[in-house]
Amino acid sequence: MDQGGCQMSGGGGGGGMDRSGAITLEDLESFSEEQLSDSGNGSLEEEGETMEEDEGSDRLLHYWQEVARGHQVEVSQDMAEPIQQLSSNNHGRSHREHIPFALLARKEKCGEVLYEKRQYEKGRWACITMREETYEQSICYGFMRIMRYICNQNSVGGYLGMTLPIVTVVRTDETSSVISQDVTVAYYLPLEYQAQPPRPEDEEIVIEVWPAATVYTRPFSGPTNEVTIMSQINAMAELLDSPSVCVNNSFIVAGYTNPAHSNRQNEIWFLERP
């Protein structure tokens, strides 16, 4: 896919705190559910209803703010409604639409999947490019703005629905050894909005048509930060039979929701050159 702007050229994640000192995309998406699951023995849906009755949106916002303050991230008051909506609308996997793809091949060793080769078709994505001091801050602030778009700051005026994975496009130098500060956070539009995407109120969120692409993917678990991303890029390059067929200065980290669990699931994506 195209190497510039918000387009793929080379989906976030579950609960748990990144030890690097910044709150991550995965933390922000799942934090409310993690706190709810820790607050009692009932189901997430039951706990969500209890929170709603007891000024749930304010309590969830305070949770986010408390965590974020210790990780160089500010969560503003206007995030209360998006946080509440994301929590109440995502009690289970059935509420989350996965990005469709066709599996082309899979490389395994001793029963372990080393990587998959997939075909993703053309689709529309909402994306925003951030440039904060750290990768973690960029994906955090970028995702909060995407959250507002998903929840109500769109021309439909309502909740659009969550899709997985949430992806971040990371760019490197030609040697794939240094990560750029420019990080793109991208959200795949649900099927019902692919033909006519709702218009974002945030002028920095753009709707891009990403062309079809062949993607090499490798799963990994745990936090995502500059160190783990570079480690995964290097590991994937060693596994590929012909790494030269892929773009070598832009990669994608795909995050899959896994709330209230430190062993969250991610993927590193390499994109085959056209």
User: 66-100, pLDDT tens digit by residue?
Assistant: 766 655 667 777 777 776 676 666 554 446 789 99
> N- to C-terminal Cα distance for the chain?
7
Domains for the chain: give ranges and CATH numbers: 98-271 (3.20.80.10)
Given a cut of 50, whether residue 32 has pLDDT beyond it is no
d(C-alpha 33, C-alpha 82), whole Å:
13
Whether pTM > 0.85 for this model: the answer is no
pLDDT band at 64 (very low <50, low <70, confident <90, very high): low
Which residues, in sequence order, are CB contacts of 87 under 8 Å at separation 6+?
A: 32, 33, 36, 48, 51, 56, 60
